[in-house]
């Protein structure tokens, strides 16, 4: 049996723990019994002794970060089967696990929390500790520390749920180790020697070092680490740059290329600092050292918060030039004091004003956004939580963007129609942000999967219903163009005898309201989980199902209530005088208003409940789904 390079690496590591030689045929067979060769599994190796079971997870070129979390739940289910020995799990890894630890016994805990130790033979050990060690190989060094820590936090959460579910006497530990720890101290430190001693400033929120250094100081760190780890770039250095998505195709990049080439031609780069705004960096820690009478800045895990475009543009130029210039660049190093996260956000915003920068760009780095991204990945959908986020080939390219789709989805599910209109403000106000996105953390574990699926189908259903055209142009040979109602749009069900133009304006005004009401009814009385399965299998079937449901809701009580209670209510329209296109005469027209708010939504529910008491279940907010 031939193993891949990543599997051989895992085998060697496990063999070393067991004091075995992986090249010896007998020892190799023994070591293989401790290796999980199932590529769809989360755990890739294990060792068991004295009631302690340790799993090893290898993050490498064949094991993406999101796959680890995705497969964790399924593997834990199989492990429970192996522990409780109710049946034989299919995965041969768990079969070898049972064989290795046989006989095992799990001490059950009854409802009162008392151990049933009398039923457990004292001679048979039970598993006291489950320890999970995440081993990050060189091939996965482009995974940033923050990404890894966020994943471990999510894994601990799932482990705790699993521990409670099994009700076994277990102490679960999840910790991070690193196979390349000996390289980490050198890899994660950037040393900058300024042309002159840096200017040092201090405030209540942090420290600032300012000075000039050759651009190759930062460029060489960036490229050398990438070469050593066999990756295109050390992308960790730009992970906090909110404008990385702009790439190298803007006029700024073109101007920089021209400037570098002109400096090379003239043999003089002294003017470059006059025309370049410089680069702003931060890091986890910074030390100022003396070396040969000069001050050297040593930054641990440096991050560029402004200047990624300049770095990538210089790389593009340097690769094509035989004798690339090395101009001095202004460098600002910001070191925030502990607990000054909001201050660093303000610095990031202030240093990226060249292009529109919004608060949701900064929110993209929140743990909560990464948490939601993982949940969507587990369902096979792409959740774009930051601009320029590269799609994974293995996920369905049905994008749900942080702004505005998901934010509006969650607020509409919470019956907050007014707030959903100003979704830009969600990322500025912590209370609004937590009210909407925080639902993912408040949802109970047993409902989490269904909740995620409902947010996906709700978002796709909302996108479908609000983006359908209300009117279409029909071209008739010899008769010109006529504008008619789009029969494929369920909104045409809301109608009355009157001018078509008036009905177009009315339907446009009430669209968000009727979509919110119809989808709320669908979440309560429909079958959103079945519709999710349709969405995965065939999106056209999903569309047909949603349109059919919306047509039914629009054509029943919604139509009667809207027309009878709101069409002629002067509080909901303004009257204007305009020129009729057909007759050329002055006519009065109504401009409807006031439908896209929570108050009208509640008033509509009152009227609907009077006609049909079943609408009472449609009241309430997002708590109904948590």
Beta bridge mates, 174: 132
Task: Kindly state the percentage of the chain with pLDDT values over 70.
Answer: 72
Phi, psi angles (nearest 5°) of residue 390: -80, 130
Question: Shortest CA distance to 155 belongs to which of 175, 182, 125, 184?
Answer: 175
The pLDDT, as a whole number, for residue 51 is 63
Distance (Å, whole) CA 440 – CA 447: 10
Q: What is the pLDDT of residue 527?
A: 94
How far is the C-alpha of 418 from the C-alpha of 601, rounded, in Å?
9
Residues forming a β-bridge with 614 = none
**E runs forming strands in 424-556:** 471-476, 480-485
Q: How many residues does the chain have?
A: 626
What pLDDT digit, counting tens, does each position of 561-589 carry?
Answer: 999 999 899 999 888 887 776 677 787 88
b/e per residue 200-228 (b: at least 16 CB within 10 A): eeeeebbebbbbbbbbbbbbebbbebbee
Q: How far is Cα 31 from Cα 83, in angstroms, rounded to an integer? A: 21
Q: Supply the DSSP symbol for 109.
A: B
Long-range contacts of 314-320 (CB under 8 A, 24+ apart): 314/215, 314/219, 314/256, 314/260, 315/219, 315/222, 315/223, 316/248, 316/253, 316/257, 317/256, 317/257, 317/260, 317/261, 318/219
Q: What is the pLDDT of residue 116?
A: 41
Model pLDDT, residue 301: 73
DSSP character at residue 183? H
Report d(CA 375, CA 448) in Å as an integer: 9
Residues 142-175 have pLDDT tens digits of 566 666 777 777 777 777 777 776 665 566 666 5
- What is the residue extent of each domain of the chain? 5-179, 185-357, 359-442, 444-625
In angstroms, the CA 148 to CA 176 distance is 9
Whole-prediction pTM: 0.58
What pLDDT is attached to residue 188? Answer: 66
Distance separating alpha carbons of residues 295 and 317, to the nearest angstrom: 30
Helix (H, G, I), strand (E, B) or coil at 267: coil
What string of H, E and C letters represents the secondary structure of 44-60?
A: CEEEEECCEEEEEEEEC
| Phi/psi at 331 (5° precision) | -125, 130
Alpha helices in 189-307 (DSSP H): 215-228, 251-266, 272-275
- Mapping DSSP onto H, E and C, the string for 11-69 reads HHHHHHHCCCCCCCHHHHHHHHCCECCCCCCCCCEEEEECCEEEEEEEECCCCCHHHHH
For residue 517, give the nearest of 419, 600, 457, 421 by alpha carbon. 600
Residue-level pLDDT at 520? 94
pLDDT at 86: 55
Tokens representing residue 570 in the block: 């002067």
For residues 330 and 273, the answer to whether their CB atoms sit within 8 Å is: yes
Tokens in use for 619? 């009241």
**pLDDT of 240:** 53
Q: Which two tokens stand for residue 256?
A: 């920089």
Instruction: Identify the pLDDT of residue 549.
Output: 95
DSSP count for the chain of H helices, then E strands: 23, 18
Nearest to 517 by CA among 595, 405, 456: 595
Place of tokens 């409807």: 592
CA distances from 156 to 57, 70, 161, 402, 545 (A): 14, 13, 9, 25, 39
For helices 539-553 and 445-467, the axis angle rounded to 10 degrees is: 80
Residues of the chain with pLDDT under 70: 1, 39-41, 49-51, 61-62, 64-66, 82-128, 136-147, 165-188, 225-252, 339-341, 349-362, 365, 386-404, 423-424, 479, 581-582
């Amino acid at each position: 049996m031939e193993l891949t390079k990543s599997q051989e690496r895992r085998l060697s590591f496990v063999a070393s723990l067991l004091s075995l030689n992986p090249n010896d045929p007998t020892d190799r067979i023994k070591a293989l019994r401790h290796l999980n060769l199932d590529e769809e599994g989360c755990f890739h190796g294990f060792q068991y002794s004295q009631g302690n079971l340790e799993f090893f997870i290898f993050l490498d070129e064949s094991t993406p970060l999101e796959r680890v979390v995705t497969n964790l739940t399924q593997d834990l289910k199989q492990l429970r089967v192996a522990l409780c020995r109710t049946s034989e799990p299919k995965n041969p890894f768990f079969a070898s696990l049972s064989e290795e630890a046989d006989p095992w016994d799990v001490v059950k805990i009854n409802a009162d929390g008392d151990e049933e130790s009398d039923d457990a033979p004292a001679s048979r050990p039970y598993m006291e500790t489950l320890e999970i060690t995440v081993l990050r190989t060189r091939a996965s060094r482009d995974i940033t520390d923050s990404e890894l820590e966020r994943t471990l936090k999510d894994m601990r959460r799932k482990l705790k749920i699993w521990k409670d579910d099994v009700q076994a006497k277990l102490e679960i530990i999840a910790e991070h180790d690193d196979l390349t720890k000996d390289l980490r101290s050198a890899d994660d430190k950037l040393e900058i020697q300024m042309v002159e001693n840096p200017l040092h400033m201090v405030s209540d929120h942090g420290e600032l070092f300012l000075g000039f250094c050759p651009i190759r100081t930062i460029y060489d760190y960036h490229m050398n680490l990438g070469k050593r780890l066999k990756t295109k770039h050390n992308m960790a250095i730009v992970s906090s740059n909110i404008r990385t998505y702009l790439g190298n195709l803007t006029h700024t990049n073109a101007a920089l290329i021209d400037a570098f080439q002109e400096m090379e031609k003239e043999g003089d780069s002294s003017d470059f600092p006059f025309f370049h705004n410089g680069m702003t960096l931060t890091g986890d820690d910074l030390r100022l050292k003396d070396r040969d009478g000069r001050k050297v800045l040593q930054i641990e895990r440096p991050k560029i918060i402004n200047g990624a475009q300049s770095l990538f543009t210089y790389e593009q130029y340097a690769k094509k030039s035989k004798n690339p210039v090395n101009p001095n660049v202004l460098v600002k190093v910001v070191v925030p004091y502990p607990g000054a996260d909001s201050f660093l956000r303000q610095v990031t915003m202030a240093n990226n004003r060249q292009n529109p920068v919004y608060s949701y760009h900064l929110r993209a780095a929140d743990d909560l956004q990464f948490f939601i991204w993982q949940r969507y990945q587990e369902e096979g959908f792409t959740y774009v939580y930051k601009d320029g986020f590269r799609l994974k080939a293995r996920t369905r390219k049905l994008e749900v963007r942080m702004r505005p789709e998901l934010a509006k989805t969650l607020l509409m599910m919470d019956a907050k129609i007014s707030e959903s209109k100003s979704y830009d403000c969600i990322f500025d106000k912590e209370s609004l942000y937590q009210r909407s996105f925080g639902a993912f953390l408040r949802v109970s574990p047993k409902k989490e999967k269904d909740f995620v699926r409902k947010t996906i189908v709700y978002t796709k259903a909302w996108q479908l219903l609000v983006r359908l055209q209300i009117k279409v142009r029909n071209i008739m040979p010899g008769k010109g163009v006529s504008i008619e109602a789009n029969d494929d749009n369920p909104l045409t069900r809301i109608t009355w005898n009157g001018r078509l133009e008036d009905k177009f304006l009315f339907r446009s005004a009430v669209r968000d309201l009727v979509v919110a009401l119809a989808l709320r009814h669908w979440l309560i009385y429909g079958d959103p989980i079945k519709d999710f399965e349709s969405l995965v299998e065939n999106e056209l079937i999903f569309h047909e199902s949603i349109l059919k449901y919306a047509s039914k809701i629009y054509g029943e009580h919604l139509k009667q209530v809207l027309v009878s209670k709101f069409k002629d209510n002067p509080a909901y329209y303004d009257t204007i005088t305009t020129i009729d296109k057909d007759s050329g005469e002055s006519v009065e027209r109504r401009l409807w208003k006031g439908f896209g708010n929570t108050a009208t939504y509640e008033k509509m529910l009152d009227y609907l409940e009077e006609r049909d008491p079943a609408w009472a279940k449609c009241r309430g907010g997002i708590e109904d789904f948590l």
